[in-house]
């Protein structure tokens, strides 16, 4: 069967909405269009029922209670509500400390920077060459003023999975709140907020084959009860933590996405792991000076992040423009900055600029993997040859 172009392998950025998710959402744009807060007629009752069904679907996937799920506009808002909400609710304690890590998503890092300006003390833990935090570093960083630890479950660039169960035990032992950015992990690998001692957990619908613009925040209700200050006021929706008319179709979509992940996660993960390893072998056995960024042992099943020595990542992206992947570089203003995650790993600036993130997903096929591998290999070889010719010409002149 011929491969349909372009090939999409950027599933860490976003995923295609599963057709079954879309089918579940569609009625709530038309015949079931009620406002979930309208509790005096059938249109509102049906919308509210759909919201509560979705709340239960999200809760079951992470082993929580439906009463602990707050719907938001996405993981970024969930992260802001978790971090800023905890700090604001405990402002009476005076200056408080937060601990996070250097390779977090910008949603966490930028929120921490804002909290630093408001007087918080933030510790940014380093990661080792595998991409993992050192648990002893974490223990040493905790002080009597530490209020919150925020460590992501799986990294959005290198896919490395942090030891959140062990981190949760340390947090409980020290009586510190524990927030987890699980945007990349929920639906792909098991997440159990009880077993891992998680107090706050951020979720994104569009990372698990649901719609964009919708997320959720898990907020523990007991042992301990987590108190948050609201960031958005105006109507008292979502138990007063997130006011605003609920996006019922998108909430239904997140719920259905979670339900499908609960049923199919094991099978999906095994298949994606095989596809990922097929891609890795097909590329690395044919290209020298190619390096894996981050641990392969502690890694999402759908992630592969490679650096190609002697090749600019952006040039490679242009050379394989019929394949959707991401470069490890982020273009800001007039400067091209290497990925902060790769630099935190200790990757050189040159190799950081040559990195490509492959994010496989539910709808990728073996044929697509083989096509992508062939395109990458031929393009890297061509770019290296051009670079060699250019260097030779420079030396002659």
Q: Which two tokens stand for residue 43?
A: 């249109």
**Catalytic residue of the set 112, 120, 261, 331:** 331
> At how many degrees (to 10) do helices 106-117 and 75-89 cross?
30
Query: Phi and psi of 389, rounded to 5°?
Result: -65, -40
* CA distance linking residue 107 with residue 112, whole number of Å: 9
Reading the block at residue 127, the tokens are 């990661």
Which among 212, 222, 211, 215 has a CA at the least distance from the CA of 201?
215
Specify which residues 337 forms β-bridges with. Answer: 330
The DSSP call for residue 55 is: H
194 preceded by a cis bond (ω within 30 of 0): no
DSSP conformational letter for 213: S
Cα-Cα end-to-end distance for the chain: 50
Are the C-beta atoms of 246 and 51 separated by less than 8 Å? yes
Residue 331 appears among annotated catalytic residues: yes
Report which DSSP code applies to 5: S
Residues 211 and 247: their CA atoms lie apart, in Å, by 11
Distance CA 153, CA 161 (A): 6
DSSP, residue by residue, 319-357:
HTTTEE-EESEEEETTEEEEPHHHHHHT--HHHHTTEEE
State the angle between helix axes of 42-62 and 248-284 in degrees (0 to 180), rounded to the nearest 10: 30
By C-alpha distance, which of 84, 125, 81 is closest to 215? 81
Give the pair of three-digit tokens for residue 392.
């030779």
Residues marked active site are found at 331
């Amino acid at each position: 069967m011929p491969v349909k172009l372009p090939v999409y392998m950027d599933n860490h950025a976003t995923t295609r909405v599963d057709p079954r998710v879309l089918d579940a959402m569609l009625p709530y744009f038309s015949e079931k269009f009620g406002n979930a807060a309208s509790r005096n007629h059938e249109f509102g009752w049906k919308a509210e029922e759909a919201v509560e069904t979705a709340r239960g679907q999200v809760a079951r996937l992470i082993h929580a209670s439906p009463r602990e799920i707050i719907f938001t506009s996405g993981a970024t808002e969930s992260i802001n509500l978790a971090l800023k909400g905890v700090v604001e609710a405990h402002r009476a304690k005076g200056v408080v400390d937060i601990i996070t890590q250097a390779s977090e998503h910008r949603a966490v890092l930028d929120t921490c920077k804002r909290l630093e300006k408001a007087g918080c003390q933030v510790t940014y833990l380093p990661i080792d060459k595998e991409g993992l935090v050192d648990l002893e570093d974490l223990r040493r960083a905790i002080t009597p003023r530490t209020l919150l630890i925020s460590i992501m479950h799986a990294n959005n660039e290198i896919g490395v999975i942090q030891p959140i169960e062990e981190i949760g035990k340390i947090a409980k032992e020290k009586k510190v709140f524990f927030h987890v950015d699980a945007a990349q992990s929920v639906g792909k690998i098991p997440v159990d907020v009880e077993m891992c001692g998680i107090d706050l957990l951020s979720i994104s619908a569009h990372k698990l084959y649901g719609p964009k613009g919708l997320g959720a925040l898990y907020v523990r209700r007991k042992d301990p009860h987590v108190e948050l200050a609201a960031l958005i006021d105006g109507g008292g929706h979502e138990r007063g933590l997130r006011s605003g008319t609920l996006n019922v179709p998108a909430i239904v979509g997140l719920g259905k996405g979670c339900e499908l992940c609960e049923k199919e996660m094991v099978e999906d993960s095994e298949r994606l792991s095989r596809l990922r390893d097929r891609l890795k072998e097909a590329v690395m056995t044919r290209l020298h000076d190619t390096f894996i960024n981050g641990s392969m042992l502690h890694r999402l099943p759908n992630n592969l992040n490679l650096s190609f020595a002697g090749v600019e990542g952006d040039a490679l992206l242009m050379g394989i423009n019929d394949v959707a992947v991401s470069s490890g570089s982020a273009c800001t203003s007039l400067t091209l900055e290497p990925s902060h995650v790769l630099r935190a790993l200790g990757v050189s600036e040159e190799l950081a600029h040559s990195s490509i993130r492959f994010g496989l997903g539910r709808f990728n096929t073996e044929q697509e993997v083989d096509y992508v591998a062939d395109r990458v290999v031929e393009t890297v070889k061509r770019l290296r040859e051009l670079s060699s010719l250019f260097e030779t010409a420079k030396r002659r002149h």
